Structure 1
Amino acid sequence: MLELHCHTTYSDGTLTPAALVDAAVNSGVQALAITDHDTMGGWDEAIAAAPTSLEIVPGLELSTVCAGRSLHVLGFYPDRRRLQAPLDERLEGRKRRAQAMIEKLAELGYPIELSPMVDGMAPGRPHIAAAMHAAGYVTSTKEAFSRFLAEGKPACVAYEKFDVLDGIKLLRSCGAVPVWAHPYLFRGAAVEAVLPEFVEAGLMGLEVYHPDHSPSDVRHLEDFCQQYGLLKTGGSDFHGPSKRYPGLNSLHLPLALLDGLKQAKQSLAA
């Protein structure tokens, strides 16, 4: 009944916030977090579309780096006014990165134009892949990644560096509850090697339940939560209906997990 990790068209999801709300309701979800990459732009539409039976949890997924590799931190219940300005800086970095990849593709003989984006949308590689597909350069967005946009491929450009410790501290300073997203997808170091430093910086939780986590991963993360006094969250990391991503409510997470998140938020406000 709980989804604490979902994306919309404001980042790399395929459903608008309103369509995501409809899909969540139809899937039996009772609490839905909007966690787009580096933007809070989808909140208002989701809140306006949500019936009384669905609680919208405001959040985002902050792009950071650790040991030279990408690492994402979920932030729940941030103070929007305090976070907006630093987040705008992250959005501008995303735009610069997208433009650099577009220029690389043009140099390779594949000029593209991105579809217009409303304010608050965070451009990323999925948008570029979609533009390549629309231009007829590739047969699918998957091919665009495998040939051009994946790490190490000719048109890929790395994120502008934003250290994970700075990201955690930024979220805490803006009243958000920072949670390490899908820790076992991180390729820069072992979870147990970097976790103590993250906790010291202010990390408050781990995304324990995720489609890419094995049962042993889940057990390890549950143990880490107990060891460090961290809260547990989870979600399907839903990006839209596709074979790549599991369906909404596929993990059947209990609403009780949201209670811990709200308690953590209250502890910040105290």
Structure 2
Amino acid sequence: MLELHCHTTYSDGTLTPSELVALAMQAGVKALAITDHDTLSGWEEAFAAAADFDLEIVPGVELSTVYNERSLHILGFYPNKNKLYSPLKERLEGRKRRAQLIINKLAEFGYPVELPSMGEGIAPSRPHIATALVKAGYVKSSKEAFEKWLGDDQPAFVQYEKFSTAEGIQLLLNCEAIPVWAHPYLFRGGEVETVLKDLVSAGVLGLEVYHPSHTSKQIKHLESLCDEYDLLKTGGSDFHSPNSDISLNQLHLPLELLDSIKKVRNHASLTTN
């Protein structure tokens, strides 16, 4: 009944916040986190869409950071929007600059494309460029676009502008958010155990234990690491589109996981006031 990792059209999802809320209701979700990449712009529409229903919206974000020269994502739950807005505006501009550099590379290789026009607060990303490549007829699918050009080790890849994971965690903490390492076993820049020590030192408060990409063995290991370091356990489908193998509420996560996050958040608020 709990979804703590979902994307909308404000980043690389294909549903608007209102459409995501409607689908979540159909799937039996009781608490839904809006965690778009480097933007908070989808929150208000989600709050409005859920206002008359038995669905709690958890305001969140997924920060794009760099660790060991590799992309590492940090989820942040319940950030203070007023404090985080300005820093995220610069992150959004960085995403736009990165997207343009990727497009420039593609043009040099003989595959010119243009990003579709995007509204205020929307974070451009590689999936948007992949869609443009498909539309232009250069590849047959977004998967092929990543395999040929956009993947981390492919010719048109461009790394995020330097924003370290430690800086990202500190930013979230400064903005009263709960920082959580997203899908640890998708990270390709080091062993989970080694990286986690650095993240704990930087102030991370949780791990996304439950994720469609994690095996049952990996989940058990992440659970034990949470116990060892006294970290919060979170989870979500990392939902982007109904036209994928990932479905809302497929993990059937209990609401108690959210209760634990709220307790830590409330305790942090009391200690800082």
2:151 aligns with 150
Partners of 2:129 and 2:100 in 1: how far apart?
10
1:119 aligns with 120
- The count of corresponding residues between Structure 1 and Structure 2 is 269
Residue 26 of structure 1: how far off its partner (Å) = 0.4
Matches within 5 A, 1:103-252: 103-243=104-244, 245-252=245-252
Residue 10 of structure 1: how far off its partner (Å) = 0.7
SS of equivalent residue, structure 2 residue 149: helix
SS of equivalent residue, structure 1 residue 232: strand
**What amino acid does structure 2 have at the position aligned with 1:128?**
I
| 1:205-259 CA-partner distances (Å, limit 9, x unpaired) | 111111111111111111111111111100001011133x410000000111110
Runs of at least 5 residues in structure 1 that lack an aligned partner in the other structure: none
| 1:49-89 CA-partner distances (Å, limit 9, x unpaired) | 11330100000100111111111100000000101111111
Partners of 2:153 and 2:185 in 1: how far apart?
21
Residue 197 of structure 1: how far off its partner (Å) = 2.3
2:100 aligns with 99
Residue 194 of structure 1: how far off its partner (Å) = 2.2
Partners of 2:40 and 2:223 in 1: how far apart?
29
| 1:3-33 CA-partner distances (Å, limit 9, x unpaired) | 0000111111111111100110000000000
Partners of 2:220 and 2:106 in 1: how far apart?
43
SS of equivalent residue, structure 1 residue 57: strand
| 1:85-136 CA-partner distances (Å, limit 9, x unpaired) | 1111111110000011111112222221211111110000110111111122
Residue 154 of structure 1: how far off its partner (Å) = 2.1
**TM-score w.r.t. structure 1 length?**
0.97
Partners of 1:222 and 1:206 in 2: how far apart?
9
1:40 aligns with 40
Partners of 1:139 and 1:2 in 2: how far apart?
34
Residue 200 of structure 1: how far off its partner (Å) = 2.1
Runs of at least 5 residues in structure 2 that lack an aligned partner in the other structure: none
| 1:141-168 CA-partner distances (Å, limit 9, x unpaired) | 2222121111222222111121111111
**What amino acid does structure 1 have at the position aligned with 2:40?**
M
Instruction: Let me know the Cα RMSD of the aligned residues.
Output: 1.1
2:76 aligns with 75
1:4 aligns with 4
Partners of 1:140 and 1:193 in 2: how far apart?
35
SS of equivalent residue, structure 2 residue 107: helix
Partners of 1:89 and 1:184 in 2: how far apart?
28
SS of equivalent residue, structure 1 residue 73: strand
Partners of 1:145 and 1:67 in 2: how far apart?
21
**What amino acid does structure 2 have at the position aligned with 1:83?**
L
SS of equivalent residue, structure 2 residue 249: coil
**TM-score w.r.t. structure 2 length?**
0.96
Residue 269 of structure 1: how far off its partner (Å) = 0.7
Q: Percent identity?
A: 62
Residue 86 (str. 1) matches residue 87 (str. 2): yes
Partners of 1:139 and 1:218 in 2: how far apart?
34
